[in-house]
Structure 1
Amino acid sequence: MNHLVDVVVIGAGQAGLSAAYHLRRAGLEPDRDFVVLDHAPRPGGAWQFRWPSLTYGKVHGMHALPGMELTGADDGRPSSEVIGEYFARYEERFGLRVHRPAGVTAVREGGDGRLLVESSEGTYVTRALINATGTWDRPFWPRYPGQETFRGRQLHTANYPGPAGLAGQRVIVVGGGASGTQHLMEIAEVAAGTTWVTRREPVWREGPFGEAQGRAAVALVEDRVRRGLAPRSVVSVTGLPLNDATRRARERGILDRLPMFDRITPTGVAWKDGRTVEADVILWATGFRAAIDHLAPLRLREPGGGIRLDGTRAVRDERVHLVGYGPSASTIGANRAGRAAVRDIRRLLAREEREPAEPVAV
């Protein structure tokens, strides 16, 4: 059976909940005018899957959802619990009625000006789509010669168990972002040894990260999206913070970086110059890619591999908006993108009401 709505929101992380909040403020009713579909088992977006040692106090730049502050949080509790509970309260307070677990498999052209959203609970026929699926479901695993021969464990940030699961082992952490340095600093306290490997020399940033620097970083990502290139994360262009913790780690040699190895061996990694490092675990802190495969039937991708946007709207299809994608892939950016997407969709719906489409059989 098909369900007819005005707007489908895919994903109930920061961006999806922000969009749902603004849809409600615009007078649209959940389950009548719009629906929020989330494949996760419970509230919390990607936060619910974060490793247990990532406490709320270690989270950088968590901005509250629109209309409701996050107050009284215990910095020592896992961020997955704190933010998961906050998202659950938010959904209840604003009556967002998120459908979960409801996985979306494909979005197709309906042939009548509508889109068909195929999900585990049926097909939704919709006038507009807000895609807020983030990146957590698409961890990026680089490929290197000999990778299949490694006798130890290979992990990714997406399934990182926390430092306790790596106690007494020799660990190679690959990746120059914030997650890589966080992993290294806590693993070094319990491991038999750690090695840090990155493709590029890390860039350390001293002092506060102000609004001007933030705008500049977002502009770099936004430029890629405007050109239809695959987006880089905002974090990837901001550099690594040089604070008391990272200074101590550098003094202890924990953050001494090696260039990228050339191949993986059964017992570790090797470089062309003959250097080798033995390891029990290779932890890939190599980031994520946008989880947008379900949009493939709409052919929105540009030759550069990304979806070109005008604001949040897909240039190839004005009915489709992407939030939490590219320049809005941060908590504050997701809030703003949710508001912007709803503003444009209201214009689209108003225009359609003046020029109604043919009736859709449901």
Structure 2
Amino acid sequence: MEAAPREVRAVVIGGGQAGLATGYYLRRSGLTPGRDFVILDAATTVGGAWARMWPTLRTFSPTQHSSLPGWMMPPWTGDGGYPPAAHVVDYLTRYEERYDLDVRRSVSVESVSRGEKLVVHTSDGDWLADHIISATGTWSRPFVPTYPGSFVGRQLHTAGYRRAADFAGERVLIVGGGNSAAQILAEVSQVADTTWVTLRPPRFLPDDVDGRALFEIATRRHRVRQLGEPDTGGVAGLGDIVMVDSVRDARDRDVLHARRTFARLIEHGVRWTDGGESTFDTIVWCTGFRPALSHLSRLGLRGPDGLIPTHGTQAINEPRLHLIGYGDWTGPASATLIGAGRAARDLVAGL
């Protein structure tokens, strides 16, 4: 016999940084975890995307500017002050325990449907909720662009990268112009012959500009746009790549050189736009991610760009649904630790 749906005030879908920050503010508003709201997470372990990132990945800010609300991340003093992924996972684990957020893991949300309340259909039965907060992030949807031709060597995305030693002695093509590409290039170039390609020349931030400054700039831009004033362009005028220690070292080794992207894939490499060819053993696609929104497809809310139109975090055509942690379209820098906390604060205040 099928179990009756369980009813709560709010269901949070996703137990990573954005889901935990939302849980913190729901708890602080007087709701009880597990009774008044529930956090559902498809993963088996704590840490969200951080638990699946490569171990040497660094945050873009020191710990005092990379924390969730209520409890500051313990300092990382090992090297340079920019914590690695494992330190973030440990922090998120302890954060969840500290606030007793009662995250239900290994529960995948299959779909959401409308009714008198929103219905969340999961691998562990249904939930009825007055509000749904989707915080599934992007890591589960790596994006690889389409090029003509085919390549028979090894290909992997940022999401599958683990360590530079796996490429020792190889010829490696790294595709992408963001922080992941720069950090992976910095590591792999120490053990392999690397080539870096980007759609446009890479833009490096000044050495003294880190994630804190980027967040504040993004926040000011958001406020200006809300007031209807001319768009300042945000961080775009500064650059894209944060100069963490490994990237600075790569600059000192003179390997931060990118060439424009290729015309097509060939069996053992690529053909450039000038007709020349290069051979590679591996291609690493550092080409970003897309929002993981398939669980919301039954609601029919996506716009032509594939995103769900929102006002702040609230879906315009389904006000009982909020989205958090997917990037600037759901709050300034909401895919960062500090940004997720501020977006969650505003989200819960509006429920």
Please give the TM-score of this superposition, normalised by the length of structure 1. Answer: 0.84
* Partner of residue 332, structure 1: 338
* Partner of residue 304, structure 2: 303
* 1:4 correspondence with 2:10: no
Q: 1:338 to 1:237 in 2, by over 3 A?
A: farther
Q: Which moved more, 1:268-277 or 1:205-214?
A: 205-214
Q: How does 1:1-362 map to 2 (within 5 A)?
A: 1=3, 2-54=5-57, 58-61=58-61, 63-73=66-76, 75=78, 79-110=84-115, 112=116, 114-147=117-150, 150-191=151-192, 193-209=193-209, 214-217=215-218, 238-242=239-243, 245-250=246-251, 252-327=253-328, 328-345=334-351
Q: Could you say what the CA RMSD is over the residues aligned between the two structures, in angstroms?
A: 2.7
Secondary structure of 2:129's aligned partner:
strand
Q: Which amino acid aligns with 1:99?
A: R
Q: Which amino acid aligns with 1:334?
A: A
Q: Which amino acid aligns with 2:350?
A: D
Q: 1:207 to 1:108 in 2, by over 3 A?
A: same
Distance 1:330 1:65 in 2: 10
Secondary structure of 1:36's aligned partner:
strand
Distance 1:220 1:271 in 2: 38
Distance 1:95 1:221 in 2: 33
Distance 1:85 1:292 in 2: 27
Secondary structure of 2:7's aligned partner:
strand
Secondary structure of 2:319's aligned partner:
strand
Distance 1:181 1:340 in 2: 33
Secondary structure of 1:282's aligned partner:
strand
Structure 1: runs of 5 or more not aligned: 226-232, 346-362
**Are the equivalent residues in 1 in contact too, given 2:55–2:86 (CA < 8 A)?**
no
Q: Which moved more, 1:160-169 or 1:236-245?
A: 236-245
The one-character-per-residue Cα deviations of 1:327-347 (angstroms, maximum 9, x if unpaired) are 2122111001111111111xx
Q: 1:78 to 1:118 in 2, by over 3 A?
A: same
- Measured after TM superposition, the shift of residue 237 of structure 1 is 8.0
The one-character-per-residue Cα deviations of 1:60-109 (angstroms, maximum 9, x if unpaired) are 12511211122154636983432222212111111111000111111111
Q: Which amino acid aligns with 2:94?
A: R
Q: Which amino acid aligns with 1:30?
A: P
The one-character-per-residue Cα deviations of 1:305-336 (angstroms, maximum 9, x if unpaired) are 22222111111111011111222122111001
Distance 2:136 2:163 in 1: 25
Distance 1:186 1:136 in 2: 21
Structure 2: runs of 5 or more not aligned: 227-233, 329-333
Aligned residues between the structures: 331
Q: 1:5 to 1:243 in 2, by over 3 A?
A: closer
- Measured after TM superposition, the shift of residue 129 of structure 1 is 0.5
- Measured after TM superposition, the shift of residue 219 of structure 1 is 6.5
**Are the equivalent residues in 2 in contact too, given 1:18–1:335 (CA < 8 A)?**
yes
Distance 1:11 1:311 in 2: 19
- Measured after TM superposition, the shift of residue 276 of structure 1 is 1.4
Q: 1:40 to 1:222 in 2, by over 3 A?
A: farther
Distance 1:213 1:132 in 2: 22
Q: 1:292 to 1:32 in 2, by over 3 A?
A: same
Q: Which amino acid aligns with 2:188?
A: I
**Are the equivalent residues in 1 in contact too, given 2:265–2:271 (CA < 8 A)?**
yes
Distance 2:293 2:123 in 1: 17
- Measured after TM superposition, the shift of residue 216 of structure 1 is 4.0
Q: 1:73 to 1:212 in 2, by over 3 A?
A: closer
**Are the equivalent residues in 2 in contact too, given 1:38–1:103 (CA < 8 A)?**
yes
- Measured after TM superposition, the shift of residue 223 of structure 1 is 9.8
